[in-house]
């Protein structure tokens, strides 16, 4: 099981870093680049969420407590960010990236502090 967890963490972190990093960069970019990267961003989002759900199933399952709550808040923000990015893509793509950037920043903070929350 350790090897599965390691693979999932690697996929999760790599896809998440691309998703969040590109979102932050596109808050100050032109529309052409936003359109060019949209599919890659959404693919990274799907990978990050899928691997995250896999990790949740393996490591957290029915556990309760501050760590699970913190991860849950981060995951919720990531899911809302994906909805905002996808939903606002046609009418207000840059605004969608900006809102998603705030939500995904909360996600990253929640994910990395979760082991230390008591
Ligand atoms: C629905 C979305 C998500 C879910 C369900 C989820 C779930 C999880 C879970 C369960 C862990 C804990 C793994 C462990 O205990 O070692 C974790 C860790 C982590 N997640 Fe997520 N995650 C999501 C989105 C994201 C996103 C978008 C990022 C962006 C970079 C991210 C970055 C990380 C990082 C860096 C860790 C490692 C934290 C550490 O142990 O130091 N996650 N995630």
Question: Per-residue pLDDT tens for 20-77?
Answer: 999 999 999 999 999 999 999 999 999 999 999 999 999 999 889 999 999 999 999 9
> Is the CB of residue 68 below 6 angstroms from any atom belonging to ligand 1?
no
Which residues, 6 or more positions from 50, have their beta carbon under 8 angstroms from its beta carbon?
none
Are the C-beta atoms of 85 and 42 separated by less than 8 Å? yes
As a dihedral over the C-alpha atoms of residue 107, residue 109, residue 113, residue 114, rounded to 10 degrees, the angle is -10
> Is the CB of residue 106 below 6 angstroms from any atom belonging to ligand 1?
no
The answer, yes or no, to whether residue 78 has pLDDT greater than 90, is: yes
Mean pLDDT confidence for 79-106: 97
Pocket test for ligand 1, best of 12, 65, 82, 103 (most atoms within 8 A of CB): 12
Distance between CA atoms of residues 1 and 59, nearest Å = 10
97 burial class (0-12, 13-18, 19+ CB within 10 angstroms)? Answer: buried
Domain boundaries, the chain: 2-116
pLDDT confidence bin for 1, thresholds 50/70/90: confident
Are the C-beta atoms of 76 and 107 separated by less than 8 Å? no
The answer, yes or no, to whether residue 7 has pLDDT greater than 90, is: yes
Q: What is the DSSP letter of 115?
A: G
Measured by CA distance, the residue closest to atom 40 of ligand 1 is: 112
Measured by CA distance, the residue closest to atom 24 of ligand 1 is: 75
Q: Which helix (H) or strand (E) holds 117?
A: none
Are the C-beta atoms of 75 and 56 separated by less than 8 Å? yes
Whole-number average pLDDT of the chain: 97
> Is the CB of residue 53 below 6 angstroms from any atom belonging to ligand 1?
yes
> Is the CB of residue 103 below 6 angstroms from any atom belonging to ligand 1?
no
């Amino acid at each position: 099981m350790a090897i599965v967890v390691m693979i999932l963490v690697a996929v999760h972190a790599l896809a998440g870093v691309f998703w969040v990093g590109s979102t932050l960069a596109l808050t100050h970019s032109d529309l052409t680049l936003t359109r060019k990267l949209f599919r890659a961003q959404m693919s990274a989002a799907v990978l990050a969420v899928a691997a995250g759900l896999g990790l949740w199933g393996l490591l957290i399952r029915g556990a309760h407590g501050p760590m699970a709550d913190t991860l849950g808040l981060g995951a919720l923000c990531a899911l809302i960010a994906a909805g905002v990015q996808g939903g606002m893509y046609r009418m207000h793509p840059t605004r969608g990236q900006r809102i998603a950037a705030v939500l995904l920043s909360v996600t990253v903070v929640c994910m990395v502090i979760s082991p230390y929350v008591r």
